[in-house]
Amino acid sequence: MPLLEEEFIAIDEIAQGVDLVAAVRELNDSGVKKPWAWVLASNWEELGEGEIRSSMMFGVNNDRGILAWRQGWEASVPTIGVGTEWTTVYLGGMYDSSAQPGSDVPIEIVYQAVEEYLATRERPTCVEWRRGEIAPRRR
């Protein structure tokens, strides 16, 4: 599915009738060979004065996945997340990126969080969040 080959997905640009969670589940159920990830946001348009952009990185890798929330310069990961190191994920299955420590969660949590974010456009409440790390800049 071409949508899954995108690095960044704007909720407003998902075609009507497309079930993002079902598409991601189908991809993952096929037995991915590397961790796929996407950055999902309600829109990528210009923000008004005082507005802060928020987005959610999510990914799949068989029975595990990743979740991370970003609002402005603040990052959050699920309190149930594991991992102490930055890990490599592939945005749209192609472009390497970094997933922050503590973002690794069971795959069903990823599906629930994406479903909730698509419905509410707010940080998912199906998981509790804690402060995470911002990725170091690459040189």
Query: Measuring CA to CA, how many Å separate 71 from each of 4, 22, 68, 76, 122?
Result: 23, 26, 10, 8, 11
Ranges of each domain in the chain: 2-44+51-131
Per-residue pLDDT of the chain (139 residues; tens, 9 = 90+): 689 999 999 998 899 999 999 999 999 999 999 999 999 998 666 656 656 678 999 999 999 999 999 988 889 999 999 999 999 999 999 999 999 999 999 999 999 999 999 999 999 999 999 999 876 655 4
Tokens of 102: 């503590």
3-state SS, residue 76: strand
Token pair 């987005």: residue: 55
CB 114 within 8 A of CB 58: yes
What is this structure's pTM? 0.90
Tokens of 71: 């609002």
